[in-house]
Amino acid sequence: MKHIIFFSGLSLVLAAVSSCSKKFVTLYPEGQLNEGIYFKTNSDFQQALTGAYVPLRDAASIAFYLEEMRADNTFFDYNAKDRGGSGNEVIAEFLDDATNSNTQALWQANFQGIQRASTILDKLQAGKPADMSDSSQNQIIGQAEALRAHYYFELVRLFGQVPLYLHEVTDAQNAIVSRSPVDTVYAQIIADFTDALNKLSPPTFPQPGTINKGMVATELGLVYLTLKQYDKATPLFQSVTQMGYSLLPKYADVFKAANKNSTESIFEIQYSAGNNATPANGTVGANNQSSQFVYDFIPNMTSTLVVLGVDYQNTAGGWNVPTQDIVNAYVPGDIRLDASIGVIKGHLNDQTDFVPDSVVSILNNKDTAGKGMGYTTSSTHRFAKKQYNAPYTGVTQQYNTGDDWYVYRYSDVLLMLAESLNEQGQSGAALPFLNQVRQRAGVAPAMTVDQSSLRDTIAHERRVELAFENHRWFDLVRTGQAIPVLTAYGVDQKKAFPFLLSNTYNVTQNKLIYGIPSRDVMVSPGLGQNPGY
Amino acid sequence: MCTTDGNVSGDIYAYGLGLFITHKINRLFMKINLSARTRSRLRIALSLFCFSVLFHSISFSQDTIPVKPAPKDTTPVKPATSADTAVPKNDSAKNSLKVSGTVQLGGGTADLSGTSVAIKGTQRVIPTDSSGHFIIAAVQGTVLVFSHIGYRPVEATVTDTSAINITLQREAGTLEQVTVSYGKQLKRDITGAITKVDAGNVEDIPATEFGQKLQGKVAGIQILQSSGIPGNNIVFRIRGAASLGSGNQPLIVVDGQPLNSDAAGGTGDINLIAPDQIESYSVLKDANATALYGSRASNGVILITTKTAKIGKSSVSVNAYHGLQTVPQRGRPDMMNAREFATFMNGFYQDKINNEGWVNPTTGTATIPADYANPDQYGKGTDWYNALIHTAPIDNYTVNYSVGTDKVSSSTTMNYFNQEGVLYNTGTKRWAFRTNTEYRPIDRLKIGLNLAPAYQIDHNTRGGTLALNGNRQVVSGGDISSPLISPYKSDGTFNLSTASYGMYALPNFLQQEKLMDNDQTNFSFLGNAYIDLEIIHGLHAKSTINGDFLSQDYNAYYGTQFGTFGSVPPRASSSSQAQNNSNNTRTWTNENLLTWNTQFGNHSLDVLAGYSTQKSYTTLRSITGTGFATDLTPFISAANNTSGSSNSSSWTIASALARVNYDFKKRYYLSASIRNDGSSRFGISKKYGTFPSVSVGWVASDEKFFPKSNIVSFLKFRGSYGKTGNFNIGNYTSVSLLTPANYGNTTLGEAITVLGNTDLTWETSKQFDVGADLTLFHGRVNISYDYYNTRNEGMLYPLPLPYTSGYESIQYNEGSFHIFGHDIQVSTENIKGPFTWNTDFNISFNDNRVVSLVNGTPIGGVNTYSDYNRTAVGHRIGELYGYVFEGVYMNQADFDKYPKYSTSAVGSARMLDVNGDDTIDIKDRTFLGRTNPKFIYGMTNNFTWKNFDLGVVIAGQVGNKLMNTNLQNLHNIDGIFNVTKDMQNRWRSEADPGNGKVPSTRSGTTELYRLVNSTWVFSGDYLAVKNITLGYTFRQKMLRYIKEVRVYGSVQNAFMFTKYPGQNPEVNDTKDAQTQAGLDNGSYPIPRVVMIGANVNF
């Protein structure tokens, strides 16, 4: 009997004690925000919106491989010592497959942005915080929608069919979505941009670097241009010309660090240098907003002091190197050549590593091409100069610059408007917009009103005006020129660079979009793969 | 409150009531909104208070109503010379006899201290003197029990005063006491799968970590030395891998205190226990043995019992050894020497000139670079592997002092250990102290206090920006350095670069090794206080408070001479960097247990119930400084720019547990246990889990029908089934977390970067085990066998999500798998007499199959680089995965005939078209072999003859595959690294196609040969003679003042027989992650240790 009392008493006590332990075993991190306490105030949503911009940086940091180096504007320095970059090379050579790390990184960054935008839209849908005004709500929704549309527009052009994530992912089940047809994706992009266009305000100058009505009208215009719906594109571009944008007087000034978010800037990915960018323990700090374009674009070298004004070894370089083809595309007197392409002269040391001696103008070194150019073991190198803002003094870390990436500039809008008008048969109306751009470049005005030849003139103008700004590949694809232009270019390349294998530059219809990253094909049942990958 | 009437049920009631009131008050505190910390302090204070009141009430009540005969003796016990020390006063009225006699030990050991004489049915124990004499007062009919650890107790009934002379015989094994979960049991009574190892038997094995000592000793536990870095490299697998990604290391419990595991944020607590502090190990393998540890027991449990003093024994012992470590010749990489390499590179450039129009940029002509133009000028050149290593000492000194009386036993161990690494400028030093004291102020009360501080300095062994092993770090980087370049210039200074013409930028790894400057200091403090009260005979209440404090401080400096793969010094002082990381972890555990032991008739019952809470709290900091004016000030205070961060992390677990052990006639056993755990790590809706187990045992040899013979002396069958769990994931993974994400110059941003899983809970292991223990020929042969079958479900793993979701993974309970195997352990006394020969042999078969995964999606084998394993349904966990190398396209006909990769050319590597789609791409990778062995085995042979003893420990494994991922570098034919000799046989032209196994060096075609493929896969079979020890013991007669001196010489890692071409077939880069097992990326060599040592007992 005693024992029965004892054990029943004990079990009661144990039961009681264990139920009161629930609080004891419920812990949240002290050093990190968690979802349970977030998305409650206007400020939370503003911060989350800022977070949704961040993948723009991740995408732009590598997009040049897929959107510029794929085309005829740029190539790479063949690095015999470090073959680890062959994943970048195969993109230029059209030998890439679905395992390409750049393809995957760009895919990942854009979808991350989509998820952040959709999360904001869903959480707002569920309930507006009490302290959020209607206008604030409109600005947040408009920017989130525009971001989502922008990310999808990049994806649909690179990959074709993609899955549509219009709601927040909350668990492993709703994380898996199958791909939607290209038309459906475009319909969603147009829907998001159209709503954003209504919600957002026109730009104010100086610009804060966030998305406004001007960016949305421009990109939606490009969407219609891509879809060849010129009647819808033209009014959008026209509306942008009424928003207060203007070309800076000097082309070279557009890319100067001092002129970030200028009146010519319509959409610019914001980067900033900072000493806290990447602590040595490997975790990326919140302040890591730096870019490293210039390090990617100049050659590998033992010391960057002569070129960048700071003394680091560069092993990230030799990419997006201007080709002889693009150098030749600038007509004599075009001031954009010197503003877009630089030349670094130097010598090789005992280890056959490049040591720079000086940065010189391409105008005097236009014909250093041929033997050697395109190899890391050359003593003369070209580099894409638009993100070159040396000296980088004041920054005490390698691979850390504050150079922005330009997505849409006002000259782009003018050229798109010209193109759209020309395609609508209004070639005469197109000329003033085209010539506004040519005039600044020091190039004679175009006179022709023949639709076909004006089409070629505008396309060429786009190539030199927007060189190294990730437009060339998309322009070639959307105008149907990619296969003929790049096949011919490939023949020249193989002559210039004997290391290229015979099966390079096999430009086919399948290669006009990239392979779906094989990791996701494996992880996401039913995702499928693009033909040819 | 706690009653004082001395009534038994009152006491029990009081105890229960005490807990209940504690609980109620606790609830009240919650309502009045106290902080969690205050509450937990109050809870501890309250339980202590209640115990003290209870204790007080009972000691108070003793005078009036004795619960059982309560001796009042306070005389300190000396070895029995006085008869009345052992006379219970209550019996003084009866006729007391003075009984004397002598105890001897069967094996002939002279030192009899520690031998005890007990009066059966009481707690009265007296020790004998060191020669075995005793005198005890006892009434007629009293039963005396004579015992000595390791010997079978003998009972004798007092009839008259005639001398009782007893010889104790070595135990046959079944009467040995074994530490089990929350208690001790006789080996005979155990119904679970438990193996005990006495630390004394593995004393001679030099080890930083105790795991090294257990290698080859226990069936069912695989212990691998994953690399030769001093400290922190032992990997355990009890019955194979139990988990996908959440740790496969067993729970280590030291004297009842569960240690913080590695995955929980601790960093090698295990390593900080000096092996010389340990008395014994119990390896718990099946669910019955482990289920009382609930949610963290599925990898098995190792219970460590530290040294305690024996009653009546006072001793001082000193153990010391000194050894020299050298790297064996076997297994060193087979790199080209200088002449071979220059010849290879000469051909490399010749081919480039012929096939790719190559021009030497320095000269502008198509000529072979000067370094390689004349290979005959070179001899052997530099053997970089050899240059990086040296012979290094290892030393260990331990002093133990222990004293035991009937009131106090205390044991103190002091240890100094110093191991230099065989790579220059590396090593570990440890100072460890432990004192275990137990006070027994009255018969029914034990109060214990164990304190164990340890301080350890890890010099250059904890990684850093340049690590010792791993891809292109010191060892691997040395392998690929140019043999044409010597480490030193003619003036004796270091050559800064070791790259010959056209090679990748390689620093001088010898210089970098000697320059390394990263030290981690670890201070740990294990403290353990308990109070154990016997409320009535057989009923104990025990309350324990354990504290585990760990403080680690890591300092590293990388100056202007710092270089790493791809970066040759010197570098600008603005790049100089210092790093400081530190963390403090404090973990406390409070346990309150009631145990009740009783016999009635033929029935024995042993009941345990308890409640336990544990909390761990870590704070961590990390500071970086860059830009140093000079290298003379390697601390961050001298840096131009600093940045830092701090954080905290904690976890809690609260558990209720109960167990019943029942036996009938010591022949039929039944045991059942249950534990309920609540853990902070799991989703809000799934915090609690229940872990039951049940087991049965049957001693068949005691049955009447069992044929009595001289062959079988003991036979027991066992069976168990139970559930255990695994909670080894990081903290807070069930919660969606935000990370700062700034954009633009002014706005702060946040983004969800970790997708939480509110349904997250532990993975569950359901284990079934049947076994038998058999003793033959009166204990000369002991056999133990177990078969087990385990189903693991809800595996904790970061489930990969498609990037399209915006997330990379979600911590998930994913899929299930199945583990099964056999453990066999055989101990034999082969020869007895003046010459003895004993053998312990064990062999374990273990295998697993993945039964299901979420969506059937395999884990791993996805990325092009650094992804060498795949876990897929129907396969084993973490099988090696890659392309199957078929040879090279020998000629155009071959090239036209076989499927091709995107960059294939005549002469390039030809892989197998696994999926038959007539093209080679990532989909043609396939399974290349299992990483878990088919079986592992170990054998220990001990021989003694006169005063000599000889021990030989052998261990081995059969049936697994290893992948030498370092071949990615050593087979790199881009002309940028030194390569293995067999690369000479490469394809150069259709006329000179080599041996068909090495592709051509043509630009743009070499990548495929660098991707994971079958040429990197080797058999992992090995047989290792782990240890040979020869000892000689000087006995008492030969020495004064000293009881015993044993001197010995020993060779650790004496011989390795394996086909694996690498140095260490136990290698495992990832250590714990079974989904990435079996990889060798150029690891720190394992030394052979030749040592001499002495054990002295005073």
The 10s digit of each residue's pLDDT in B422-475 is: 999 999 999 999 999 999 998 889 999 999 999 999 999 887 888 888 889 999
Q: Which of B13, B30, B359 sits opposite A9 (nearest CB)?
A: B13
Average confidence score pLDDT of chain A? 91
Query: Which pLDDT does position B37 carry in this prediction?
Result: 53
Report the candidate in B530, B648, B532 with the shortest Cα–Cα distance to residue B584.
B648
Query: Which pLDDT does position A193 carry in this prediction?
Result: 98
**B535 DSSP 8-state letter:** E
Q: Return the percent helix, strand and coil in chain B, to nearest 5.
A: 15, 45, 40
* Residue B36 to residue A283, Cβ atoms within 8 A: no
Which runs of consecutive H residues, i.e. helices, occur in B189-301?
A: 210-214, 287-290
Chain B CB within 8 Å of residue A370 CB: no
Helix, strand or coil, per DSSP, at residue B1028: strand
Please tell me which residue of chain A has the smallest CA distance to B744: A270
* Residue A21 to residue B654, Cβ atoms within 8 A: yes
**What residues of chain A, 228 to 257, have a C-beta less than 8 Å from chain B?**
none
* Residue B736 to residue A35, Cβ atoms within 8 A: yes
Q: Do A465 and A275 meet the contact criterion of CB atoms below 8 Å apart?
A: no
* Residue B732 to residue A29, Cβ atoms within 8 A: yes
ipTM: 0.94
Q: What is the mean pLDDT of residues B156-182?
A: 76
Query: Which pLDDT does position B450 carry in this prediction?
Result: 94
- Type and span of the H or E element at B563: none
Nearest-angstrom CA–CA distance, B744 and A50: 8
Q: Which residues of B1022-1050 are buried (b: 16+ CB within 10 A; e: fewer)?
A: bbbbbbbbbbebbbeeeeeeebbbbebbb
* Residue B654 to residue A209, Cβ atoms within 8 A: no
pLDDT tier, A128 (very low <50, low <70, confident <90, very high otherwise): very high
Chain A contacts of B265, Cβ < 8 Å?
none
pLDDT tier, B142 (very low <50, low <70, confident <90, very high otherwise): confident
Please state, for a pLDDT cut of 90, what percent of chain B lies above it. 58
Q: Do B134 and B101 meet the contact criterion of CB atoms below 8 Å apart?
A: yes
Q: Do A476 and A482 meet the contact criterion of CB atoms below 8 Å apart?
A: yes
Chain A CB within 8 Å of residue B240 CB: no
Residue B287: what are its φ and ψ, rounded to 5°? -65, -35
pLDDT tier, A434 (very low <50, low <70, confident <90, very high otherwise): very high
Q: Quick: pLDDT tens for A442-482.
A: 999 999 999 999 999 999 999 999 999 999 999 999 999 99
Q: Which of A9, A83, A287 sits opposite B742 (nearest CB)?
A: A287
Q: What is the mean pLDDT of residues B198-213?
A: 84
**B274 DSSP 8-state letter:** -
**What residues of chain A, 260 to 279, have a C-beta less than 8 Å from chain B?**
270, 272, 275-276, 279
Nearest-angstrom CA–CA distance, B596 and B533: 11
Query: Which pLDDT does position A124 carry in this prediction?
Result: 95
Please tell me which residue of chain A has the smallest CA distance to B558: A280
Chain A contacts of B580, Cβ < 8 Å?
none
Query: Which pLDDT does position B1068 carry in this prediction?
Result: 86
Query: Which pLDDT does position A305 carry in this prediction?
Result: 94
Higher pLDDT, B798 or B842: B842
* Residue B742 to residue A50, Cβ atoms within 8 A: yes
* Residue A34 to residue B756, Cβ atoms within 8 A: yes
Nearest-angstrom CA–CA distance, B189 and B903: 67
* Residue A169 to residue B356, Cβ atoms within 8 A: no
Q: Quick: pLDDT tens for B28-80.
A: 544 545 455 555 555 554 555 444 444 433 333 333 333 333 344 434 434 44
Q: Quick: pLDDT tens for A480-491.
A: 999 999 999 999
Q: Do A218 and A267 meet the contact criterion of CB atoms below 8 Å apart?
A: yes
Chain A CB within 8 Å of residue B560 CB: no
Chain B CB within 8 Å of residue A492 CB: no
Query: Which pLDDT does position B157 carry in this prediction?
Result: 83
Query: Which pLDDT does position A9 carry in this prediction?
Result: 52
Nearest-angstrom CA–CA distance, B596 and B473: 58
Which of A18-22, A455-459, B907-911 comes out lowest in average pLDDT? Answer: A18-22
* Residue B36 to residue A24, Cβ atoms within 8 A: yes
Determine the residue type at B1017.
Answer: V
pLDDT tier, B24 (very low <50, low <70, confident <90, very high otherwise): low
Nearest-angstrom CA–CA distance, B458 and B470: 18
Residue B233 reports pLDDT greater than 80: no
Most confident of B236-245, B482-491, B547-556: B482-491
Measured N-to-C along each axis, helices A134-159 and A182-199 cross at an angle, to the nearest 10 degrees, of 150
pLDDT tier, A230 (very low <50, low <70, confident <90, very high otherwise): very high
Determine the residue type at A267.
Answer: F
C-alpha distance from B413 to closest chain A C-alpha (Å):
37
Q: Quick: pLDDT tens for B861-895.
A: 988 888 999 999 999 999 999 999 999 999 999 99
Torsion region of A228: left, alpha or beta (phi above 0 gives left; psi -120 to 50 gives alpha)? left
Q: What is the mean pLDDT of residues A27-49?
A: 90
Please tell me which residue of chain A has the smallest CA distance to B465: A280
* Residue B799 to residue A172, Cβ atoms within 8 A: yes
User: Up-side HSE of residue A313: CA atoms within 13 Å toward CB?
Assistant: 17
β partners of residue B402: B315, B411
Q: Which of B499, B645, B651 sits opposite A279 (nearest CB)?
A: B645
Q: Which of A13, A165, A272 sits opposite B16 (nearest CB)?
A: A13
Output the pTM of the full model.
0.86
Chain A CB within 8 Å of residue B609 CB: yes
- Pairing state of beta strands B314-326 and B301-306? unpaired
Query: Which pLDDT does position B141 carry in this prediction?
Result: 80
Chain B CB within 8 Å of residue A448 CB: no
Chain A contacts of B13, Cβ < 8 Å?
5-6, 9
Chain A CB within 8 Å of residue B640 CB: yes
Residue B247 reports pLDDT greater than 90: no
Q: What is the mean pLDDT of residues B203-219?
A: 85
**What residues of chain B, 681 to 700, have a C-beta less than 8 Å from chain A?**
684, 687-688
Q: Do B873 and B857 meet the contact criterion of CB atoms below 8 Å apart?
A: no
Please tell me which residue of chain B has the smallest CA distance to A15: B656
* Residue B737 to residue A32, Cβ atoms within 8 A: yes
Q: What is the mean pLDDT of residues A117-122?
A: 97
Q: Which of B23, B30, B922 sits opposite A13 (nearest CB)?
A: B23
Strands (E), B388-499: 392-404, 408-420, 427-439, 445-459
Chain B CB within 8 Å of residue A44 CB: yes
Q: Quick: pLDDT tens for B292-311.
A: 898 888 889 999 999 988 77
Chain A contacts of B26, Cβ < 8 Å?
20
Q: Chain-centre distance of CA B473, in angstroms? A: 25
Please tell me which residue of chain B has the smallest CA distance to A34: B737
**What residues of chain B, 785 to 844, have a C-beta less than 8 Å from chain A?**
799-808, 810, 812
- Type and span of the H or E element at B1012: none
Nearest-angstrom CA–CA distance, B565 and B473: 7
Q: Quick: pLDDT tens for B110-129.
A: 567 667 888 877 767 777 77
Sign, CA torsion B479/B481/B486/B492: negative
β partners of residue A25: none
Which of A242-256, B155-169, B637-651 comes out lowest in average pLDDT? Answer: B155-169
Chain B CB within 8 Å of residue A24 CB: yes
pLDDT tier, B83 (very low <50, low <70, confident <90, very high otherwise): very low
- Pairing state of beta strands B96-105 and B164-168? parallel
Chain B contacts of A27, Cβ < 8 Å?
650-652, 680, 731-732
Determine the residue type at B893.
Answer: A
Residue A164 reports pLDDT greater than 50: yes
- Structure tokens of B5? 């009437």
Q: What is the mean pLDDT of residues B1040-1053?
A: 89
Query: Which pLDDT does position B733 carry in this prediction?
Result: 87
* Residue A518 to residue B922, Cβ atoms within 8 A: yes
Nearest-angstrom CA–CA distance, B430 and B428: 7
Determine the residue type at B237.
Answer: R
Residue B21 reports pLDDT greater than 80: no
Nearest-angstrom CA–CA distance, B857 and A197: 41
Helix, strand or coil, per DSSP, at residue B971: coil
Helix, strand or coil, per DSSP, at residue B865: coil
Please state, for a pLDDT cut of 70, what percent of chain B lies above it. 88
Measured N-to-C along each axis, helices A451-465 and A410-423 cross at an angle, to the nearest 10 degrees, of 160
* Residue A24 to residue B1007, Cβ atoms within 8 A: no
**What residues of chain B, 896 to 915, have a C-beta less than 8 Å from chain A?**
902-903, 905
Query: Which pLDDT does position B5 carry in this prediction?
Result: 36
B84: burial class by Cβ within 10 Å (0-12, 13-18, 19+)? middle
Q: Quick: pLDDT tens for B521-568.
A: 999 899 999 999 999 888 999 999 999 898 999 999 999 999 999 889
pLDDT tier, B748 (very low <50, low <70, confident <90, very high otherwise): confident
* Residue A285 to residue B613, Cβ atoms within 8 A: no
Q: Which of A35, A56, A524 sits opposite B804 (nearest CB)?
A: A524
Nearest-angstrom CA–CA distance, B424 and B157: 66
Strands (E), B629-711: 639-664, 668-679, 688-699
pLDDT tier, B139 (very low <50, low <70, confident <90, very high otherwise): confident
Average confidence score pLDDT of chain B? 86
Determine the residue type at B681.
Answer: R
C-alpha distance from A433 to closest chain B C-alpha (Å):
31
Report the candidate in A49, A148, A61, A164 with the shortest Cα–Cα distance to residue A106.
A61
Chain B CB within 8 Å of residue A286 CB: yes
Q: Do B239 and B821 meet the contact criterion of CB atoms below 8 Å apart?
A: yes
